[in-house]
Chain A
């Protein structure tokens, strides 16, 4: 029994990374020239993983935003709040994607990066 368990453990992916995030949709109204969204990245694994949170526009170009924290280690089966503050950049309305990305670990020649993106619409009053 023990040798079989040991063999199975060796087959399990030790370098995996993935995640979830909520919410994945949202609308924000702001009186300021910036708006804030709080998202909750989650780690569905039984081990710690490194997570990055990034903001993109509708064409997946990076958007300058304050992300607190932008990169962190997340414990097994845990989630934590991340505050994202995005400037309107002169626009009355802004659509952004806030994405939670796993950091692939090196070691194999095709690595998978899992990315969960939420779509958020902000309007300035």
Chain B
């Protein structure tokens, strides 16, 4: 038993007097997150005519905005294009001024606008898209089907 105690004590001394040889070395990790943008069209819109038939709008009663989901890492710009692709009934021979607008809610808050908006922060938002068509002077919308495409761009 005495010999056993001596052996344990000797081992302890060896461990305690051994010089420390451990060192620390930092390992560097780097990453670059590039701008990423995802657009997900939820609803297309619906325009209705005003009583005087001079306005076709998604903002009027019975109409509806289009909705697009947006997810981004930030560092992107959101915008809507001027409307170029429009289908009108044959009876409509007069010019129409089309005005697309959008607003953002969610991680990004942007009041209704037709201009491009820089989104610096990451997050998910809903883009609410409206379209209004107007006739000038005595012109008015004709009976038939109208169809317009609004391009929502993230770049």
Contacts and interface: CB of A to CB of B under 8 A. Distances in A.
Contact of A116 (B34, B37, B58): B37
A117 interface: yes
A116 B47 contact: no
Nearest to B40: A18
Nearest to A119: B155
Interface stretch (A21-29, A68-76, A80-88): A21-29
Interface stretch (B6-14, B103-111, B142-150): B142-150
Contacts of B36: 20, 22, 24
A116 B115 CA distance: 17
Contacts of A113: 149-152
B152 A112 contact: yes
A99 B150 CA distance: 16
B148 A116 contact: no
A114 B41 contact: yes
B42 interface: yes
Interface residues of chain A: helix, strand, loop or mixed (majority): strand
Interface string B125-155: 0000101000000000000011111111111
Contacts of B41: 13, 16-18, 102, 104, 112, 114
Given A22-B36, A42-B38, A108 B45 contact: yes
Interface-central residue, A18, A110, A119, by most chain B CB under 10 Å: A110
B60 interface: no
A118 to B, nearest CB: 7
Given A25-B34, A44-B38, A45-B40, A110 B151 contact: no
A24 B34 contact: yes
A97 B76 CA distance: 13
B68 A112 contact: yes
Interface string B20-42: 00000000000000111111111
Interface in B60-98: 66, 68-69, 76, 81
Given A109-B146, A110-B131, A24 B76 contact: yes
A116 B39 contact: yes
Interface-central residue, B45, B46, B155, by most chain A CB under 10 Å: B155
Given A18-B40, A24-B35, A110 B152 contact: no
B121 interface: no
Given A18-B69, A104-B149, A116-B153, 14 more contacts: A13-B44, A18-B38, A18-B41, A19-B39, A44-B38, A97-B155, A102-B41, A109-B146, A110-B129, A111-B45, A112-B44, A112-B152, A114-B68, A116-B154
